[in-house]
């Protein structure tokens, strides 16, 4: 019988429910339990794939091809194991199942109602994950903040689960304690109100995680204990830290695991965090910088710059940098600026490596192609991810193979040289507007070409990587591109698709120190304890460039 821990947020959004959930999951896993984690997004979109990155952040793709929330990525990075699509649900996906079932007459003529049928479907999904993953603990992170109309139905499902089996269902409230600058004192009232709002939904928190700039003191722990109806040992201090990977260690110091296990009527164990300690020591120890630029477009939200759109790329850069004993300094460069003023391309010289990440549509495309041309010609290490491969192929076709109007049909359907073209099975999807969850999604095998940068980096011939795209290298152009010097370093043989392109290494004609681009998203599989081989090789090339120019 599995235990369930629901994690919900209070006061404000974005305080770190995802990292809290991941950290608790890691602590329990490190205490010898089998753990899985579920993310619930309380919106109508059936999956995260149809939401723009500046609004929602990155779309994280699982091995089985579900387009999920970036928190699933956090769970994978902390737990160091794969998580499947069943661990993700939205309001829309739950309703869709219930409505489809109603259409199939599966409710035997009864009235189908929001309560209990929607909570029952939510509970069915949660219990299914516990069963399928044979977990001792399942964490369920409920998106949004308590008190919102949107997530009430999920809290209702959680309440029903607790009612059925009180000792098996626990609640963690992740709250925020502001220190208003003019007052200079950490305030607990918003947390008290959040705990009370949870009470209104029939739920008493077992743990309150107190997020703040600073650690929470005893006086405030006692206040929260008194007003929120829990013991002081259940009030956890969670101050800001330099690296998210420090959070589990802080929770361990606060004896969070012991408190949870005791409340779940399980024997108290202390997690073995040795490996994680070593990781955090490495993170704290690196000082030598490596400068990486990400040339993209999903940064701006109003006056703020958002890095959430590329979170797995950022994490993958960090993991590989730590592995190589350096500290990455990441800079956002807006591709559109190169279109307005190509002279600023020379600023790319300041970086040790450049990445063009995934993307969609016309905006910023020409700027990205300029950037790829610059790094190719100036021998700056380059890693292209999905759209970053497509941009590299277009650039190569135009500037090396003489096809000056080469393009992707995603941007210019009338191009004379569609070097990137719609995948055959996507033509009908686009025409009939079947656009949700219909890209080439999830893990597919790829065979590496011997003696390439990629084959050397992976150290193996067969790999499996995750995809999310509708367009592909057009096979009709393979010979012309290869004659120009482009290397096809990875292929999917089943479908005869190009998965990796490279330029030859420096000592060969058209050689380059490191120019690799993938149709898949390697960043999705990088973990702090298992950095991705292509990112490791990219960072090594960046370090080499830095040392050469020093
Ligand atoms: N827009 C491109 C495609 O659909 C690339 C997608 C991506 O970068 N994830 O093929």
Determine the Cα–Cα distance for residues 423 and 58; give it in Å rounded to an integer. 23
Q: What is the arithmetic mean of pLDDT over 107-128? A: 96
User: How many Å lie between the centroid of ligand 1 and the Cα of residue 323?
Assistant: 29
pLDDT score at 255: 95
Query: Tens digit of pLDDT for each residue in 14-51?
Result: 889 999 999 999 999 999 999 999 999 999 999 999 99
User: How many Å lie between the centroid of ligand 1 and the Cα of residue 286?
Assistant: 34
pLDDT score at 303: 52
Domain that holds residue 76: 3-279
Q: State the pLDDT confidence band at 411, using cuts at 50, 70 and 90.
A: very high
Residues 193, 163 share a domain: yes
Query: Tens digit of pLDDT for each residue in 322-362?
Result: 999 999 999 999 999 999 999 999 999 999 999 999 999 99
User: How many Å lie between the centroid of ligand 1 and the Cα of residue 360?
Assistant: 5
Residues 25, 49 share a domain: yes
Determine the Cα–Cα distance for residues 241 and 254; give it in Å rounded to an integer. 15
pLDDT score at 549: 83
Q: What is the arithmetic mean of pLDDT over 290-315? A: 79
pLDDT score at 408: 98
Residues 144, 39 share a domain: yes
pTM, whole model, 2 decimals? Answer: 0.95
DSSP β-ladder status, 418-422 and 407-408:
parallel
Give, as one character, the DSSP assignment of residue 58: P
Residue bearing the CA closest to ligand 1, atom 5: 387
- Lookup: tokens for 187: 């305030």
Residues 413, 300 share a domain: yes
- Lookup: tokens for 223: 């206040």
- Cα–Cα nearest to 503, from 521, 516, 484: 516
CATH number at residue 256: 3.40.50.300
Assigned domain for 427 exists: no
CA 502: distance to chain centroid?
26
446 is catalytic: no
Residues 267, 296 share a domain: no
- 157 close to 6: Cβ distance less than 8 angstroms: no
Residues 337, 313 share a domain: yes
pLDDT score at 76: 98
CATH number at residue 300: 3.40.50.880
Assigned domain for 77 exists: yes
Residue bearing the CA closest to ligand 1, atom 9: 358
How many domains does one find in the chain? Answer: 2
pLDDT score at 355: 97
Query: Which of 257, 279, 301 is at the close of a domain?
Result: 279
- Lookup: tokens for 52: 């723009």
- Lookup: tokens for 36: 């899985």
The count of other CB atoms within 10 Å of the CB of residue 413 is 11
Residues 236, 318 share a domain: no
Determine the Cα–Cα distance for residues 195 and 225; give it in Å rounded to an integer. 11
Q: Which atom of ligand 1 is nearest to the CA of 471?
A: 10
Give residue ranges with CB within 6 A of ligand 1: 358-360, 386-387, 390, 410, 468-471
Query: Which of 246, 279, 312 is at the close of a domain?
Result: 279
φ, ψ (nearest 5 deg) of residue 414: -100, 10
Determine the Cα–Cα distance for residues 134 and 215; give it in Å rounded to an integer. 36
Place of tokens 């990292």: 19
Residues 64, 106 share a domain: yes
Query: Tens digit of pLDDT for each residue in 139-185?
Result: 999 999 998 999 999 999 999 999 999 999 999 999 999 999 999 89
Q: Which atom of ligand 1 is nearest to the CA of 359?
A: 8
- Lookup: tokens for 271: 């997690």
Among 60, 296, 384, 390, which is best to mutate for testing ligand 1, by the most ligand atoms less than 8 A from CB?
Answer: 390
Assigned domain for 309 exists: yes
Among 53, 365, 372, 471, which is best to mutate for testing ligand 1, by the most ligand atoms less than 8 A from CB?
Answer: 471
Query: Which of 264, 279, 294 is at the close of a domain?
Result: 279
State the catalytic residue, choosing from 76, 141, 499, 523. Answer: 523
DSSP β-ladder status, 462-469 and 440-448:
antiparallel
**Three-class secondary structure of residue 225 per DSSP:** helix
Among 297, 358, 439, which is best to mutate for testing ligand 1, by the most ligand atoms less than 8 A from CB?
Answer: 358
Residues 296, 255 share a domain: no
DSSP secondary structure of 363-388: TTHHHHHHHHHHHHHTT--EEEETHH
DSSP β-ladder status, 487-492 and 497-502:
antiparallel
- 163 close to 201: Cβ distance less than 8 angstroms: no
User: How many Å lie between the centroid of ligand 1 and the Cα of residue 439?
Assistant: 9
């Amino acid at each position: 019988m599995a235990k369930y821990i629901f994690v919900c947020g209070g006061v404000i959004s974005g305080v770190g429910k995802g990292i809290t959930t991941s950290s608790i999951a890691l602590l329990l896993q490190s205490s010898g339990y089998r753990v899985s984690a579920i993310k619930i997004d309380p919106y109508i979109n059936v999956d995260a794939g149809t939401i723009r990155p500046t609004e929602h952040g990155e779309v994280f793709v699982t091995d089985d091809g579900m387009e999920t929330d970036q928190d699933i990525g956090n769970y994978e990075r902390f737990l160091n194991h794969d998580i499947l699509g069943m661990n993700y649900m939205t309001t829309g996906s739950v309703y869709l199942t219930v409505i489809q079932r109603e259409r199939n007459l599966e409710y035997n003529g009864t009235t189908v109602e929001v309560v209990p049928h929607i909570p029952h479907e939510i509970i069915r999904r949660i219990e299914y994950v516990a069963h399928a993953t044979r977990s001792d603990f399942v964490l369920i992170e409920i998106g949004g903040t308590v008190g919102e109309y949107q997530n009430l139905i999920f809290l209702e499902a959680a309440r029903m689960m607790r009612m059925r089996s009180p000792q098996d269902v626990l609640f963690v409230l992740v709250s925020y304690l502001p220190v208003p600058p003019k007052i200079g004192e950490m305030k607990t009232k918003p947390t008290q109100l959040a705990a009370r709002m949870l009470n209104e939904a029939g739920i008493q928190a077992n743990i309150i995680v107190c997020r703040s700039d600073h650690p929470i003191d005893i006086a405030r722990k006692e206040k929260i204990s008194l007003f929120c109806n829990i013991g002081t040992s259940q009030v956890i201090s969670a101050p800001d830290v330099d690296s998210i990977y420090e959070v589990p260690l802080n929770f361990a110091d606060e004896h969070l695991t012991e408190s949870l296990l005791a409340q779940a009527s399980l024997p108290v164990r202390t997690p073995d965090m040795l490996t994680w300690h070593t990781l955090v020591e490495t993170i704290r120890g690196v000082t030598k910088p490596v400068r990486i630029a990400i040339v993209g477009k999903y940064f701006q939200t109003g006056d703020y710059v958002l890095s959430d759109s590329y979170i797995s790329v950022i994490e993958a850069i960090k993991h590989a940098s730590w592995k190589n004993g350096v500290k990455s300094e990441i800079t956002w460069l807006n591709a559109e600026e190169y279109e307005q003023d190509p002279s600023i391309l020379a600023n790319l010289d300041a970086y040790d490596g450049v990445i063009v990440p995934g993307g969609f549509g016309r905006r910023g495309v020409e700027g990205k192609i300029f950037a790829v041309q610059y790094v190719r010609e100036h021998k700056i290490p380059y890693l292209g991810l999905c759209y970053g491969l497509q941009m590299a192929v277009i650039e190569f076709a135009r500037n090396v193979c003489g096809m000056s109007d080469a393009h992707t049909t995603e941007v210019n359907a009338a191009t004379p040289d569609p070097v990137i073209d719609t995948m055959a099975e996507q033509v009908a999807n686009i025409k009939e507007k079947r656009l949700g969850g219909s890209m080439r999604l999830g893990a597919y095998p790829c065979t590496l070409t011997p003696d390439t940068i990629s084959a050397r980096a992976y150290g193996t011939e067969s790999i499996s990587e995750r995809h999310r795209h509708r367009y592909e290298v057009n096979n009709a152009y393979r010979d012309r591109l290869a004659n120009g010097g482009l290397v096809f370093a990875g292929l999917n043989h089943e479908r005869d698709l190009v998965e990796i392109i490279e330029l030859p290494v420096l000592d060969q004609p058209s050689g380059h120190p490191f120019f690799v681009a993938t149709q898949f998203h390697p960043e999705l599989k990088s973990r702090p304890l298992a950095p991705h081989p292509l990112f490791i090789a990219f960072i090594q090339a960046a370090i080499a460039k830095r040392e050469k120019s020093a």
